[in-house]
Copies of this chain bind each other. A is one copy, B any other.
């Protein structure tokens, strides 16, 4: 088993006309916005949202992202976006799955990897800062 922790959240999002492109589907780059909404919900669930990060003295830039497109999505489609913490020791890896809310059919998946950067020193942290572990209940 890869991990013995389970931190995830699922949000609902209904696509808007401005999410689409000339092919009549959600533009492929806009899924990173949907991933971000789910990631924000996950961090907020553990009381480590944007404002909390600022207070904690760390920013969390994304250093790697991947998106796999299984099925197109359309205007006025309601999606369920799940974000799940996959790795946390040295860097934060979050997996995403997007499904149609009615059929449950998977439309999109992917991941993002973030690292902690100290706001004062501008240096990248090679182990995940204690504050993250505390908030997510992962401190051993």
- CA separation between A138 and B38, bound complex, in Å? 40
Interface of A is mostly: mixed
**Contact assessment for B32 and A29 in the assembled complex, using a CB-CB cutoff below 8 Å:** yes
Contacts of A22 in B (CB 8 A): 17, 20-22, 24-25, 50, 75
Interface size class of A (residues with CB under 8 A): 35 or more
* B18→A36 contact, CB < 8 A: yes
A-B contact pairs, 24 of them (CB 8 A): A16-B37, A17-B21, A17-B27, A17-B40, A17-B50, A18-B27, A18-B32, A18-B36, A20-B22, A22-B24, A22-B50, A23-B61, A28-B62, A28-B65, A29-B32, A29-B36, A51-B75, A51-B76, A62-B69, A63-B68, A64-B68, A65-B66, A65-B67, A66-B67
